Amino acid sequence: MWNDEILEEIHKYREEHAKSFNYDLHAIVEDLRRKQAARVKQIISKPLKESKKPMQST
């Protein structure tokens, strides 16, 4: 079976994070919201450019 190292790392982090909150979904969501609110740097600093190529319908 094919292994994706990046996905494995994401799953490991997610498991550790959930375990640290005793798998309490409400506590996990509250923690993520608190971290998001504390973030001051924007992830995308400029608006995305519009594509000049028209989208094809299928």
Model pLDDT, residue 44: 63
Reduce the DSSP state of residue 51 to 3 states and report it. Answer: coil
Model pLDDT, residue 11: 95
CA angle 57, 51, 54 (to 5 degrees): 30
Per-residue model confidence as pLDDT tens for the chain (58 residues): 678 899 999 999 999 999 999 999 999 999 999 988 888 776 666 666 776 766 666 5
Model pLDDT, residue 36: 85
Q: What is the pTM of this model?
A: 0.58
Q: Which of 43, 18, 15 is nearest to 29 (CA)?
A: 18
Model pLDDT, residue 54: 67
Model pLDDT, residue 50: 73
